[in-house]
Amino acid sequence: MGWDSIIGQGRAKEILQRSIEQKRVAHAYLLWGPPGVGKDALAIEFAKTLLCDRQESKACDTCASCTKMHILQHPNLKIVFALPAARSEKNNDNGEGKFQPDIREEIRSQIAEKAKNPYFHFEIPKATQINIGTIRDVKKESSLAPYEKGMKIFIISDAEMMNDTSANSMLKVLEEPLSDTLFLLTTSRKEKLLPTIVSRCQSVRCELLTDADIERALTERETIPPEQARLVSRLASGDYSAALGLVHEDLVSERAEAVRFLRATLSGRSVTLLEDIEGRIAENDRGAVDQFLSLLLVWFRDAMLMKEQGVEGIINQDQQEDLLKFVSRFGDANFPASIGAVERALELLRGNVYLPLVLLSLSVQLKRILLNAR
Amino acid sequence: MFSILTFNFSFSTMSYQVTARKWRPMVFEDVIGQAHVSNTLRNAISTNRLAHAFIFSGGRGCGKTTTARILAKAVNCLRPKDSNPCNECEVCEEITNGRSLDVIEIDGASNRGVDEIRNLRESVRYAPARGKYKVYIIDEVHMLTKEAFNALLKTLEEPPPHVLFIFATTEVHKVPATILSRCQRYDFRRITIEDIISRLRFIAGEEKIAIDDDALMIIAKKGDGSMRDSQSIFDQVVSYCGTTITVPQIISLLNVVDQEFFFRITECITAHDTKAGLALVEEIVRNGYDIKEFLSGLAEHFRNILIARATQSVHLIEASEIYRKRYATDALLFSEQDILRLIKLTTDMESSVRYSTQPRLRLEVGIIQMTKMEQSVKIDDLLRQLDELKKKLDLGAHTSASSITLSAHSSMSRPAVSEPAVDEKRTTYTVVPPLKIAELSKLSLSAPQKDSVPTPVAAPEPSLNHFAVEEVQREWDKIVDDVRRKKISVGTILGESVPVSVTDQTLQIACSDDFHFSSLKRNQMFLTEAINTLLGSKLRIEPVLRPSVASPSPLPAKTGLPKPNEAPYTKIDGSTPPKEHPLIETLYRDFGAERI
């Protein structure tokens, strides 16, 4: 708990803490930056600090208010996130009242999860947007006096999920809310927000976490062995949530698969290649193929780097020998082009193109690019 | 009825208010950069020729809502000064505090239905309580529904004389033409950087904050033509730095990419220093710069160089004096085509970074491409050089300038290795390495190559032994014996293969079939070592598949279809490709089929 529990984000923390110290807390902040770097975590900590009885730039973590914040049940705090469409838009019930019991249960358990792990990402099934009903609730609550002393704080998680109507109806209240009201918006897709929304908030940029930060957090908090933590942190590319997800994957064997695919491609043994592709898509798991291609991408990046400047800065440190062999054979190949080919395949994959076709065409392209160079 | 809709913009509570609210202009003069609007409105008020409906459009933070409120006050004020509201009389105060019954501010985005408009039409009929006019300000009017707009039409065309409508919107194209034609339309402009700076300077002075113009310049540039954005950034800077603000603090707070980085990139490009370029990427990522932001900054940097180059002056560059000078000197290092290519590369990168899962990788690739990029020569120069070459060599017979590819055997010009093949459509002329007339004698004319991109030609190193294929053939039996002793299977297979040629330090060994080929391929490393130790050479070994040469009993009659494994692993020098089945040839020719 406390500001120290947030990984990295030195500058963002400082901006928020100093605004408390200087008594210049604005009425709206937009915390933006890549996914999984702790934007919600920052927002929650900021809210807790402002509501804490101590009224300083650090929360005491012991007072009644902080205790309520630890389980995210403070009455002055409202967390807004995408919810499924209510039973009926005309239904005048407030808040959760308008949902089916199972969805209500889901919402509650997700909030509890968020309280435990601020890096948790809200995902209510069938929820695609923050709709106008939710925003109406927000506006209504913001016009009322706070339940307890202190500010009313609204955290709008993934603000880009607001649709056109809800975003527009936020504008007036976001510009000139009643005093002692604070809006904390978080987003990983700032460009999808209305410029008029962005302009009404103080933008605080959250940065990608460094590999070292993630590595440390993984070893200290999740007790991951250092070897694995290093590989995972490199692959997570600054996204702690992704790192937590990757911890449970067998990356080393996945990578071996990627190398095998490359080998099959280059050896020209089409039968092996086809078998490989068949096996890969048998489960039709696009997520797995995505990861597999990402690993391939990392491999090419390393090869390119190795060619340019030696082993420095390489992600697959434990595979130096194989990489060296690869580079000595295909050193003249156009690595940028092959990286382009893999990225294109990733794009197609996400565009829901027939899987075998994607892999086969990738393999043909790679073969041409790599073998032509020799 | 509109009680929840009017907003309390009072200063009554003593808590902190952001600059944009605290310093919201109260008179027409303070609305910066919109003189064309405020002068018109003031003249209309003073000559009593005020229209009954206005629509204000323009980007975020340029003063629409502010002007609407000033106008509402100006028409109702008891003691207007020079068509400005006095902001002191009771009516003005009521309006400022949002208590007035005559000025009704409606959030168009939340009250967008036809029902709300019906209510509005009802209330329009009643005369104002105190002032002269009843003013309806509908903000974000573009969000009204179609039905709501239509319900408004009649009232808007001929309202009672005491009614004034003011609409404000950022998206005027969403407002129906029938509404627009009933209103006087005022387009608000983006606010210039100078105007923003002067307003911020004024506010800073009032709040007793020390800040210099360079710092204000950074803030104003980030604000991108919007006063509110600039003031938000200003607020953030003040709450971060306190009352004395310096440029380095702002740079670290806003994480503006230091201009210095861009100049270092250009240095890397001119010096072709890939390693330094990659180190720079590492630094950018470590400093936590946003890669997208960095790229758009880089594009602007190249644009500045281009402008300095094209106009021979630096007046159009938005940068401080020191940097302008540097742009002037940097501009001499590049030709216009080079800069255009760099800009193209940068913008391509920008768009691909947006969708990339690994933006850093994209940046690295891009930087490598940039540092490896060759300077281009103008096509005119090239043609002139070609002409001279023609004269010199007196080769009038078999030259047609268009089909000649130049390959420079000069060690002076680095081969254009990694011209971004991602973009294969690029025309040839930009990638030819620069040639000096003096080097022309070293040029050789070669047959047109397949690729439009010149392939690297390794400069032959004189220190290496040159092995002719005859020598290898002479020693062949010895080699085979030697290999057989070490690895019998490989030796046997080698015995059935024939050395065919030595080109570029590469010994090609022809084998009769797939099996031979693949096993030689497998043992390539071993063979290379064995042969080189025996001959004392530095050859690369490359098995090639050529049934017709080596095999005593080739397999011609079997079928004309190519075996899948016969794929062109390498091109075989000098030999024409085997004749294809007519059907296959048609496939190639007419359907663009490719071998896989």
- Restricting to B residues 175-214, those with a Cβ less than 8 Å away from any Cβ of A are none
Task: Tell me if chain B has a CB within 8 Å of the CB of A78.
Answer: no
Q: Is A227 or A150 the better-scoring residue by pLDDT?
A: A150
pLDDT at B589: 66
Which A residues, 21 through 50, put their C-beta within 8 Å of a C-beta on chain B? 22-27
For residues B594 and B558, the model is more confident at B594
Chain B interface disruption, residue of A17, A176, A239, most B CBs within 10 A: A176
User: How far is B355 from chain A, CA to nearest CA, in Å?
Assistant: 8
Distance of CA A350 to the CA centre of its chain: 17
Min mean pLDDT across B27-31, B480-484, B566-570 is at: B566-570
Across the interface, which of B352, B357, B420 has its CB nearest the CB of A294? B357
Mean pLDDT of chain B: 78
List, as ranges, residues 175-214 from A with C-beta within 8 Å of B. 175-176, 178-180, 195-196, 198-205, 207-208, 210
CB-CB under 8 Å, B285 with A208: yes
pLDDT confidence bin for B559, thresholds 50/70/90 = very low
Residue A334 near chain B (CB below 8 Å): yes
- Per residue in A315-352, pLDDT tens? 777 777 888 888 888 877 788 888 888 888 888 888 88
- What pLDDT, on the 0 to 100 scale, is given for residue B590? 66
* Domains of chain A: total: 3
CB contact under 8 A, B253 and A11: yes
Cβ contact, residue pair B239, A334, below 8 Å: no
A286 and A326 within one domain: yes
Q: Which two tokens stand for residue B421?
A: 């093949």
Structural domain of A322: 251-372
Q: Does A137 share its domain with A202?
A: yes
B191-205, B211-225, B391-405: which has the minimum mean pLDDT? B391-405
Q: Which residue has the higher pLDDT, B50 or B13?
A: B50
A330 in the same domain as A202: no
Q: Does A311 touch chain B (CB under 8 A)?
A: no
B154 Cβ neighbours under 8 A, 6+ residues apart: none
pLDDT tens-digit readout, B327-344? 888 888 888 888 898 999
Fold of B193-254: Helicase, Ruva Protein; domain 3 (1.10.8)
pLDDT at A29 over 80: yes
Which residues of chain A are within 8 Å of residue B570 when distances are taken between CB atoms? 374
**How much of chain A exceeds pLDDT 90, in percent?**
21
Residues A103-138 pLDDT 10s:
888 888 999 988 888 888 888 888 888 988 889 889
Q: How confident is the model at residue B9, as a pLDDT?
A: 41
Chain A nearest-CA residue for B361: A301
Domain spanning B259-372 has what CATH number? Answer: 1.20.272.10
Are A255 and A240 in the same domain?
Answer: no
Question: What per-residue confidence (pLDDT) applies to B195?
Answer: 92
Residue with tokens 């299977």: B489
Are A139 and B110 in contact (CB < 8 Å)? yes
pLDDT the model gives residue B461: 42
Q: What is the DSSP letter of B441?
A: G
Q: State how far the Cα of B78 lies from the Cα of B89, in Å rounded to an integer.
A: 6
Report the distance separating Cα A169 and Cα A189, nearest Å: 20
Sorting pLDDT into bands at 50, 70 and 90, what band is B452? very low
Q: How confident is the model at residue B464 (pLDDT cuts 50, 70, 90)?
A: very low
Q: Enumerate the residues of chain B whose CB falls inside 8 A of the CB of residue A205.
A: 255, 290
Going by C-alpha positions, the residue among B15, B149, B355 that lies closest to residue A344 is B355
Same domain, yes or no, for A184 and A61? yes
Tell me if B509 sits within 8 A of B520, measured CB to CB: yes
Across B346-351, average pLDDT: 88
Is residue B99's pLDDT more than 50? yes
How far does B531 lie from chain A, in Å, by closest CA?
19
Residue-level pLDDT at B435: 45
Distance CA A274, CA A372 (A): 22
Do both A106 and A126 map to the same domain? yes
Mean of the per-residue pLDDT values for chain A? 84
Output the pLDDT for position B377.
64
d(CA B587, CA B561): 12
Report CB contact under 8 Å: B13, A179: yes
Amino acid letter, residue B503? T
Closest partner residue to A199 (CB to CB) among B60, B65, B107 is B60
Q: Do A168 and B4 touch (CB under 8 A)?
A: no
Residues A119 and A241 grouped into a single domain: no
Q: Residue B448 has what pLDDT?
A: 44
> Are A218 and A111 in a shared domain?
no
Position B571 scores a pLDDT of: 43
The DSSP output letter for B590 is H
In whole angstroms, how large is the CA radius of gyration of chain B?
Answer: 38
Written as six digits, the tokens of A54 are 């101590």
Which residue of chain A comes nearest to B457, CA vs CA? A332
Least confident of A5-19, B10-24, B327-341, B575-589: B575-589
* CATH 3.40.50.300 residue window(s) in chain B: 19-187
Residue B189 has a pLDDT of 93
CA distance B11 to chain A (A): 10
Of the candidates B142, B252, B422, which has its C-beta nearest A336's C-beta? B422
Domain at A29, CATH number: 3.40.50.300
Q: How far apart are CA A143 and CA A172, in angstroms?
A: 12
Assign B106 a pLDDT band (cuts: 50, 70, 90).
very high
More confident residue, B427 or B312: B312
Residue B458: the pLDDT is: 43
Domain B19-187 has CATH 3.40.50.300: yes
Instruction: Verify that A295 and A324 share a domain, yes or no.
Output: yes
Cβ distance B232 to A203 less than 8 Å, yes or no, reads yes
Residue A91: Cβ within 10 Å count: 12
d(CA B207, CA B196): 16
> Taking a C-beta distance cutoff of 8 angstroms, is the pair B158, B52 a contact?
no
The predicted pLDDT at position A307 comes to 81
Model confidence at B150: pLDDT above 50? yes
CATH fit for domain B469-590, picks 3.50.50.60, 3.40.1350.10, 3.30.300.180, 2.10.10.90? 3.30.300.180
Q: Residues of CATH 1.10.8.60 domain(s) within chain B?
A: 193-254
Mean pLDDT lowest for which of A38-42, A359-363, B495-499?
B495-499
d(CA B359, CA B13): 46
Dmax (CA) for chain B in angstroms is: 116
Q: CB B421 to CB A336 under 8 A? A: yes
> What is the tens place of the pLDDT at every residue in B474-495?
778 888 888 888 777 777 778 7
Average pLDDT over residues B19-32: 91
Residue B570 has pLDDT above 50, yes or no: no
Question: Measured between alpha carbons, how far is A131 from B4 in angstroms, rounded to an integer?
Answer: 21
**Residues B7, A176: C-beta atoms closer than 8 Å:** yes
Which chain A residue shows the shortest CA-CA distance from B522? A267
Contact check, Cβ <8 Å, A205/B290:
yes
CB proximity A294 to B under 8 Å: yes
pLDDT value at B172 more than 90 = yes
CB–CB contact B236 A178 (8 Å): no
Rounded to an integer, the average pLDDT of A154-163 is 93
Same domain assignment for residues A194 and A77: yes
Residues of B in contact with A337 (CB under 8 A): 421-422
pLDDT at B586: 67
Lowest average pLDDT, out of A222-226, B86-90, B143-147, B414-418, goes to B414-418
**Residue of A22, A173, A309 lying closest to B242 (CB–CB):** A22
Give yes or no for residue B73 having a pLDDT over 70: yes
Task: Give residue B499's pLDDT.
Answer: 81
Residues A229 and A288 in one domain: no
* B103 vs B569: CA distance, rounded Å: 81
pLDDT at B563 over 80: no
**Same domain, residue pair A17 and A163:** yes
Chain A touched by B19 (CB under 8 Å): no
Q: Is the pLDDT of residue B74 over 80?
A: yes
Whole-number pLDDT of residue A1: 65
CA trace torsion A307, A309, A313, A318 (10° rounding): 50
Of A254-268, B153-167, B455-469, where does the model show the most confidence? B153-167
* pLDDT tens profile B247-273: 888 888 887 777 888 999 988 888 888
Residue B578 has pLDDT above 60, yes or no: no
